[in-house]
Amino acid sequence: MRPSSSTTRAIRLAFSPDADDLFMFWPLLAGKIDAGGLVFEHERVETERLNARAEGDEPPDVCAVSIAHMPAIASRYLLLPHGGSVGRGYGPVVVAKRPMTLAELVARRVGVPGARTTAHLVLRLLVHAATGGAYEPVVVPIAPFAKIFQALDAGEIEAALLIHEGRLSWKDDPTLHQVVEIGEAWTTMTGGLPLPLGGNAIRRDLGEDVLRRVSDACRRSIVWALAHRDEVLDAILTSGARDEAKVTRERLDTYLDMYANADSAGYSSEVVRAIEDLLRRGQAAGFLPAGAVELAP
């Protein structure tokens, strides 16, 4: 049964402009569910800025973050047990203007969406495991959406690590070549584990009652969205929120199948194991700080 409270409480929520975040939080922000006295004040911020906000001076109460960033903020945040974006044999994609192998990335300039992102961590692990070397990361923010492709065309970077809808739209450009599919490579490296890319973190200092109420409201928003999928999909399209990414209904439908699904409704034991494995590998390689990540109730 849903917790209830007569106490009104403002909750600061920050998430990305990406379609799966919009999908999961739209019912909550559109008043489709009873938030139990909670009032959500939201902002949409690109992925790497979200990661930075979570460790800044005024961290949001609930913040969408990269799973790879959780150890750095573990003393401040718990990971909500729902709202995740998980790849099952698929994930971010590295592309280049010419055919290139994973080994050829070593010492080359690779555009990445942020140093704290899970995609960057996994690519570092893959390159290091394959060659013992490293590439030169060049942070290219995902907003504006076209910037990463422009950087490739201009020769500012030699390869690009694409997340969000970019991992689908790159195929529209016949001059681009896939170097590696991160999700496929991760599954091979781990013996079949899914790839947990992003999740929602909640501040520990909210207190147990508020924390449970917020978690419940977010969970019910995801459940509502999944049960009314076409309505939410249409709302995203008509809002123009992803016009910059040139998202068609067909492509949005495909993308949401990938990243807003049963895994978003709640982490299975397999996904929890994958999160633990990802962080363990990153910490063992010296790419992540020490820190145990805990799931919220």
DSSP string computed for the chain: -----S--EEEEEEE-SSHHHHHHHHHHHTT-S--TTEEEEEEE--HHHHHHHHTSSS--SEEEEEGGGHHHHTTTEEEPSS--EEESS---EEEESS---SGGGTTSEEEES-TTSHHHHHHHHHHHHHHS---EEEE--SSSTTHHHHHHHTTS-SEEEE-TTHHHHGGG-TT-EEEEEHHHHHHHHHTS--EEEEEEEEEGGG-HHHHHHHHHHHHHHHHHHHHTHHHHHHHHHHHTTTGGGT--HHHHHHHHHHHSSHHHH---HHHHHHHHHHHHHHHHTTSS------B--
Tokens matching residue 217 = 């409201």
Question: Catalytic residues, which ones?
Answer: 164
Contact 287, 124 (CB under 8 A): yes
